[in-house]
Amino acid sequence: MLILLNLKTIRNDIDLIKETIIRYNCIPHEIPGEIKLAIGVTGPTNLINEEEIRKMKSVEEVIRVIKKYKLVSREMKEEDTIINIGDSKIGSKDTTIIAGPCSVESKDQIFDIAGRLKEMGINILRAGAYKPRSSPYSFQGLKEKGLQYLDEVKKEIGMHIVTEVKDTDTLSIISEVADVLQIGARNMQNYSLLEKVGKINKPILLKRGMAAMVEDLLLSAEYILAQGNYNVILCERGIRTFETSTRNTLDLNSIPVIKKLSHLPIFVDPSHGTGYWDKVSPMSLAAIACGADGLIVEVHNNPDKALSDGSQSLTLKRFEKLYSKIKEIVPIIHN
Ligand code: PEP
Ligand code: MN
């Protein structure tokens, strides 16, 4: 249920409405936004006497939201959600590029890559310290040591850090370093992890599960928003299909689909989406052309020797070339 309020509503009226909602055992969520003043309501809303709410002071409209997901929907919030990470306004007309290696492998490796990306104008670095690998025998990440290197890079080079949190045990130590917490494809439906990051006041990059429908992704984001964290960036990273010529099938259809259904920003990961470095540049440009708010791209200083995902990583030189093309097409797309 969505309660639209008069723009001049005073705090006391908002609190009275919220108290009434709570009396019905439902949860009121003040929807952040500039155009409308609104309260989203979740829980057993069928028990609410709509007439009672409609008659309350400052209430302009009461709308039933039929979709399974509520807080992430465009019905609840018409305007795009904008998430600030440093100077980047994710979800606005900016197209934000996040780049970096799949994993932190050594201090030299992460400093070299971060330093060179920073020179190119990239301000948000991706790199995993705790890696969820399909095989238990694959490199699992440098863990605490990796986090420490990320913290050093953040302070010495001045990069914002995106890194994955794969379980609730490591959430608090990762949160000390990360500016954005990545929830990986394998954890998109780890509901206890989603609820925990929903209680943290930090942007979350939520990747689409490899067998998840768009609706599943939106429902997972709903878990985070329902806990009070509205700073969720969705991420299309390819899904499993019968096609084997690429690692995954990058579902670019999902970008305009999600833009219509949700106010949350949507990123594309062309690296996991394709699995091969030579497909990364064309799919990056395509993603921007179809409305993605940004990209998260794997870049390595020596992909042949990478400890994870080398085959889909761009060299720094190749990334630089892609980045200059991106800067050329962005103004055209946003015109
Ligand atoms: C990653 O970003 O390195 C990663 C493991 O991604 P995904 O969860 O999309 O597979
Ligand atoms: Mn990877």
pLDDT in tens, 9-22: 899 999 999 999 99
Question: Domain segments of the chain: what residues?
Answer: 2-63, 83-333
**In the beta sheet, which residues pair with residue 294?**
96, 267
Predicted local confidence at residue 36, as pLDDT: 77
Would the CB of 272 count as within 6 Å of ligand 1? yes
Would the CB of 184 count as within 6 Å of ligand 1? yes
Work out which ligand 1 atom sits closest to the CA atom of 132: 5
When the pLDDT of each residue in the chain is averaged and rounded to a whole number, the result is 96
Work out which ligand 1 atom sits closest to the CA atom of 207: 9
Q: What is the 104 CA–ligand 2 centroid distance (Å)?
A: 11
Tell whether the model's pLDDT for residue 32 goes beyond 80: no
- At 313, the pLDDT band (50, 70, 90 cuts) reads very high
Mutation choice for ligand 1 from 125, 186, 313, 314, CB with most ligand atoms inside 8 A? 186
Q: What is the 323 CA–ligand 1 centroid distance (Å)?
A: 21
Q: Which ligand is nearest to the CA of 313?
A: 2
Q: Higher confidence at residue 294 or residue 31?
A: 294
Q: Whose CA is nearest to atom 3 of ligand 1?
A: 102
Q: What is the 292 CA–ligand 1 centroid distance (Å)?
A: 18
Predicted local confidence at residue 7, as pLDDT: 84
Q: What is the 49 CA–ligand 1 centroid distance (Å)?
A: 45
Indicate the CATH number for domain 83-333.
3.20.20.70
Alpha-carbon distance 84 to 97, whole Å? 13
Q: How much of the chain, in percent, has pLDDT values that exceed 70? A: 100
Would the CB of 207 count as within 6 Å of ligand 1? yes
Q: Nearest 5°: CA angle at 305, between 302 and 306?
A: 80
Q: How much of the chain, in percent, has pLDDT values that exceed 90? A: 95
Q: What is the 275 CA–ligand 1 centroid distance (Å)?
A: 11
Q: Whose CA is nearest to atom 9 of ligand 1?
A: 185
- At 26, the pLDDT band (50, 70, 90 cuts) reads very high
Tokens 């949190």 correspond to: 165
Q: What is the 58 CA–ligand 1 centroid distance (Å)?
A: 46
Task: Note the pTM of the prediction, 2 decimals.
Answer: 0.95
The predicted model gives 104-117 an average pLDDT of 98
Q: What is the 238 CA–ligand 2 centroid distance (Å)?
A: 12
Homologous superfamily in CATH for domain 2-63 = Phospho-2-dehydro-3-deoxyheptonate aldolase; domain 1 (3.30.70.1140)
Q: Which ligand is nearest to the CA of 126?
A: 1
pLDDT in tens, 135-182: 999 999 999 999 999 999 999 999 999 999 999 999 999 999 999 999
- CB-CB contact of 127 with 100 (8 Å): yes
The predicted model gives 253-282 an average pLDDT of 98
The predicted model gives 93-106 an average pLDDT of 96
Work out which ligand 1 atom sits closest to the CA atom of 237: 9
Distances (CA, A) of 209 to 131, 188, 309: 16, 6, 18
Q: Which ligand is nearest to the CA of 306?
A: 2
22: left (phi over 0), alpha (psi -120 to 50) or beta: alpha
Distances (CA, A) of 139 to 38, 148, 193, 239: 47, 18, 23, 23
Alpha-carbon distance 154 to 15, whole Å? 41
Taking alpha carbons only, the member of 70, 78, 74 closest to residue 222 is: 70
Helix 214-226, helix 191-198: angle, nearest 10: 40
Tokens 């305007």 correspond to: 79
